[in-house]
Amino acid sequence: MAKKPDTSIPGIVIIDKPAGMTSHDVVSKMRRVAHTRKVGHGGTLDPMATGVLVIGIGQATRLLTYITAGSKAYDATIRFGVAMTTDDAQGQPISIAGCEQLDREALESAMASLRGEIMQVPATVSAIKVDGKRAYALAREGRSVELKARPITIHAFERLGDPRIQMAEYAIATDDDSAEMTAIPVSVVDVDVHVDCSSGTYIRSLARDLGQMLGCGAHLTALRRTRVASFTLSGAHQLADLQAETEARGEFSPGAPSLPSPGLIPIAEAATSLFPSIVLSAEEEQRFSHGQAPTRDAQEVMALGNPGDVIAACNTSGVLCGVLAIKNHSLKTLNVFSGETQ
């Protein structure tokens, strides 16, 4: 069978990930939508989570690292009274203290202590590598995993609405030597929260830490990502809608002109909306194509941002040539892009 042509145009698509799908599941389906295998995602969402998932197509996959380094926002539900092996509803109970009421003052004080720059121990079931293996893989093998605390920043951690007291059932082993499980009713308290945080933050870990502070255990029962960098739910697309639009277009024929994926934000538009930008002269563009960063005086560089900030570089026609970083009052080349398919 002849290989289908790569008719993709590079760019970013924002998906509102549905519950029950892995982030890789979304990538697999987007490869058909975009008519290319060059598809990636930035910022993994667990299967139970929903919300903003940034998809990169073609050369735009090389922007994902810089996009996902930005801050993120989430709406979540934390359940107090039960601690879980995974710190979310997908695990097994490890302690069932129950919670018949929640002291609001104590809750607010605990949440306040988790705002700002803090050290956080990631969830044990996470994608962090330990001795070359993912932590979640080690946990599945029954091996003890100890992850080191990492610096993160919680810009906002607020309660949404009143706590809700209810009964829930959790399965526990009948005895230590039996595989038989028994469901027991437990009084729990659910609290909806909003979190605005730096990259690398685990919302499950915030739930776990709150439960430990309040002495009753806690875990995450719902998570919805509302923002990644400047991309929000208002610009997100339903995967099923994009699939339907692709099917309606039909198959592309060899030699047919490239068509953008449904929902595509062109790569130059995405980069210049996310990062400060500069325009390269024809001579600078030629040198930059070989990796040589353009020269700007220190004052102009400082006006673009702070050390480490990413800068988009476009030519006079608006084509994205690549991205740079601010370093020591000058610009350093990070990635050079080809403008052929933009």
Domain ranges, ordered by start, for the chain: 11-70+231-266, 77-217, 275-336
pLDDT of residue 339: 65
Average pLDDT of the chain is: 90
Q: What is the pLDDT of residues 121-172, one digit of tens each?
A: 988 776 677 666 666 666 665 666 778 899 999 999 999 999 999 999 998 8
Q: Is 46 a catalytic residue?
A: yes
For residue 213, pLDDT beyond 70: yes
On the question of pLDDT at 253 being above 50, the answer is no
The confidence band for 289, taking pLDDT boundaries of 50, 70 and 90, is very high
- The secondary structure element, H or E, covering residue 198 is none
Q: Does domain 275-336 have CATH number 2.30.130.10?
A: yes
Q: 3-class DSSP state for residue 130?
A: strand
Give the Å distances, CA to CA, from 24 to 27, 30, 45, 65, 138: 5, 10, 9, 16, 20
Which of residues 221 and 126 earns the better pLDDT score?
Answer: 221
pLDDT at 124: 78
Q: Where are the alpha helices (DSSP H) in the chain?
A: 23-34, 64-68, 104-113, 135-140, 203-214, 239-249, 267-274, 282-288, 298-304
Q: Which CATH superfamily is domain 77-217 in?
A: Pseudouridine synthase (3.30.2350.10)
**pLDDT tens, 20-48?**
999 999 999 999 999 899 999 998 999 99
Residue 3 is predicted with a pLDDT of 53
* Residue of 261, 236, 231 lying closest to 18 (CA atoms): 236
Task: Select which of 6, 25, 46, 196 is catalytic.
Answer: 46
Q: Are 203 and 78 in contact (CB under 8 A)?
A: no
